[in-house]
Amino acid sequence: MEGTIKYVNPEQKYGYIKAEGEHDISFKMKEGREYPLNAHVTFDLIVLENSRRYADNIVLQEHGPKKHGKLKISNPYAPSKIDNQIAENKESCAIISELISKSRGTKETVFPFNDYAYLPTYYHHRPENQWLIGKPSGYWINGNSLLYLKIKKQIRYQGTTQGNGTMVPKYGCDSLLLGKHVYKNICAFTKNAGIRPEFYHIAYLDGENSVAIISLAQLNTLLEKGYNGIAIGEYPGKRPDLPNRYMIPVTCFKEYR
């Protein structure tokens, strides 16, 4: 593909390319390379499973376009990746099962939802399938209820214990981070799959030490009404091209150790 360099950040070593028919495309700046603003370039467009697009193999075209870059699609359903995803998900479900069982004193089992790994959902080609990104990782029969679990690695943020008076609210406790795009996809999945929010839970796993669980229904209420009268804060995304992340108070979760 071809486009022009729209923005560069030498300190953070990233930039954006403007290309016809595309949103701004991010790229990583390589050592020893120059990236003049408004320079014409060709590049390969890489599309990942989460629909994120970035440029690679960037070539400056001093005398106009000489060649067209290639479109490369990272296939999240290649056999090796599926096997790795299934194995990792199975291990996470087993750890959560042990933590809940230990905490409750009863035998509890979280079953992995591996069937979803085989769904042929190429999100960038089929926007109507975008909601499938919010698929659960497993399910847990809790008494008479069937609960769906979305398992995430725990990212604990301590700044909300004291707050800073501006961007970071003061909850009086730590918080766990949830990307706004992740929340959006989960809501879309439950709506399309006909799952009530109280039966879809998000489980934050901290290695083998603990798991903190909150229902989508609880999360919806927090985002609507806030926490003890305090609006839920937002933390910057992992990358400049990703949405902010909600800061969810840890005291709103049920924790199992």
pLDDT in tens, 155-206: 889 999 999 877 899 999 999 999 999 999 999 999 999 999 999 999 999 9
Angstrom distance (rounded) from CA 103 to CA 110 = 14
Residues of the chain with CATH 2.40.50.140: 2-73
Residue 218: phi and psi, rounded to 5, are -65, -40
pLDDT in tens, 28-87: 999 888 899 989 999 988 876 556 778 888 998 865 544 444 444 445 445 556 677 788
**Location of structure tokens 């009863």:** 106
The domain made up of 2-73 is a member of CATH 2.40.50.140: yes
pLDDT at 70: 47
Residue 36 and residue 5 in contact, taking contact as beta carbons nearer than 8 Å: yes
Predicted confidence band at 124 (pLDDT cuts at 50, 70, 90)? very low
Grouping H, G, I as helix, E, B as strand and the rest as coil, residue 111 is strand
Pick from 157, 116, 165: which is nearest to 246 by CA? 157
pLDDT in tens, 100-123: 999 999 999 999 987 655 554 444
> Is this structure's pTM higher than 0.85?
no
pLDDT at 115: 62
Res. 92: pLDDT tops 80? yes
Sign of the Cα pseudo-torsion (76, 78, 84, 86, in order): positive
pLDDT at 71: 46
Angstrom distance (rounded) from CA 61 to CA 34 = 12
Angstrom distance (rounded) from CA 222 to CA 232 = 7
Grouping H, G, I as helix, E, B as strand and the rest as coil, residue 62 is strand
Angstrom distance (rounded) from CA 36 to CA 40 = 9
pLDDT at 233: 95
Least confident of 16-20, 69-73, 125-129, 219-223: 69-73
Please classify residue 99 by burial: count the beta carbons closer than 10 Å to its beta carbon, then call 0-12 exposed, 13-18 middle and 19+ buried: buried
Contacts of 151 (CB under 8 A, 6+ apart): 89, 92, 93, 96, 137, 138, 203, 205
Pick from 80, 108, 197, 200: which is nearest to 151 by CA? 200
